[in-house]
Chain A
């Protein structure tokens, strides 16, 4: 590969990776400390209880991975595996919306036994979505006998709004909450070849929330608000 081509490729990659996102993370610790011990498990679940609320499975999985990396010995049960093995209690329509309702679900002996066998201590619920909030510009692509290409400029803004709540299964209460709003603008200039400058809004929201959740579970209280 010629040096000039390499330079163009690297520059493009840098620009692509550096598309900006603004994130606000707000977090509240309701209980002073999280009491996780070796062998405990946690489950991260997305909310899907209405037609509009469709928390992305990719985000739920991303938060789970971040928690798994950050909390060491704690086992994170994948959402699909958990929902399937506890069918029908955590479906879109039937999932408990409050810790008290979760206690009622655990009144089912089979459910309680399975939760105990899996050592599940915390539930992390993620609710929200990433939406396209603005778009502008235009682009034209054409193809002919001599080749093809695109010309124009497009930009769009994506906004992520997520709220994560943490339930403790020992006390059947909410012990923490993390809210995230991330806004990012992506650009796509096209001069023969379209060059996407993408803002990783969902990914950045995941990192923001994931980091705060890790701090919550590792009892790092710097920057955390404590609810009275």
Chain B
């Protein structure tokens, strides 16, 4: 008798546990879990000709410790994303293939490149009508000659997207989209770097003209615009992107929905992109 009572109680208890587990699982699936994402680098080595330039990559503390933290409570697809290792790996992969990387103290150094993150944005499928995770990253590369005189700035933007899939979690989708965005930046750098006027001047043994240091940026320019518009979380960033004509002129990239071909005629491909490119300061 006691066994029967115990058995009945145990069955009820098990059933209750299963129900509670199912309810919790359903809640978890419905609400999703915002996570802190660390992007693992996945950038192939560029198939490019190495230029006879000795380059030093300079990373500021802001660049090395960059962490995008989502403060908007409505945006629950992630808490934060850290892609510092991935972006450093990309710059080292690209400039390590294009040039010889040297230390800052190396006397043979004839170029320093300091990347700076100007903007980072993302969108998740729950925020747009597109069933995609999307990432936008905007960099400014400060180029200095061997004497540490500023010779050019280069603004460049990368875009990456991954389609949603039943088997893809938000962290892995963001990881993939960020890597695609970094690949995009790396691809543009790899193809367009040898076409730059300052690079050609350095290769010819000349001294490119120096440019003035830019005005210090107001603090809000570095803040990431929050995309709270449900119909188009990407709109704010897309509005800032230049037309294709501007992109083909050389100093910025195009909107993601109008990618230009970078394989332009190399005879026409000399790009005076960089010297006075501060227009993006006003945009951000």
Name A's B-contacting residues (CB within 8 A).
49-52, 54, 56, 84-89, 91-97, 101, 104-105, 107-111, 114, 143, 145
Contact = CB atoms under 8 A, between A and B. Distances in A.
Given A54-B132, A107-B266, A89 B47 contact: yes
B257 A91 contact: no
Nearest to A52: B257
A120 B46 CA distance: 20
B49 A108 contact: yes
Contacts of A108: 47-49
A93 B263 contact: no
Given A96-B263, A104-B266, A51 B191 contact: no
B258 interface: yes
6 contacts: A50-B256, A50-B259, A51-B257, A85-B44, A94-B263, A105-B263
Interface of B: 15, 19, 22, 43-49, 130, 132, 134, 159, 161, 163, 180, 183-184, 186-188, 190-191, 253-254, 256-263, 265-266
Contacts of A109: 49
A94 B264 CA distance: 10
Contacts, number: 87
A88 B187 contact: yes
Given A88-B191, A94-B188, 11 more contacts: A50-B258, A51-B161, A51-B256, A51-B257, A85-B44, A87-B43, A91-B187, A93-B184, A94-B191, A96-B263, A105-B263
B164 to A, nearest CB: 11
Contacts of A54: 132, 161, 163
A91 B184 contact: yes
Given A88-B190, A143-B22, A111 B47 contact: yes
Q: Decide if the interface of chain B is mainly helix, strand, loop or mixed.
A: mixed
- B49, B262, B263: most-surrounded residue (chain A CB, <10 A): B263
Contact of B263 (A51, A104, A114): A104
A111 B49 CA distance: 10
Given A93-B187, A94-B191, A110 B263 contact: no
A114 B132 CA distance: 34
Instruction: Across the A-B interface, give the 8 residue pairs with the lowest CB-CB distance, nearest first.
Output: A88-B187, A87-B44, A93-B259, A91-B187, A84-B44, A88-B190, A51-B256, A51-B257
Nearest to B190: A88
A152 B161 CA distance: 35
A202 B19 CA distance: 38
A101 B46 contact: no
A94 B261 contact: yes
Nearest to B262: A94
Contacts of A104: 263, 265-266
B62 to A, nearest CB: 27
Nearest to B15: A145
Contacts of B159: 51
A29 B266 CA distance: 33
B128 to A, nearest CB: 10
Contacts of A49: 259
Contacts of B183: 87-88, 91
Contacts of B132: 51, 54
Contact of B19 (A95, A101, A145): A145
A52 B134 CA distance: 12
Contacts of A101: 261, 263
Nearest to B189: A88
Contacts of B263: 89, 94, 96, 101, 104-105
- A51, A88, A107: most-surrounded residue (chain B CB, <10 A): A88
A114 B163 contact: no
Contact of B47 (A51, A85, A143): A85
B23 to A, nearest CB: 8
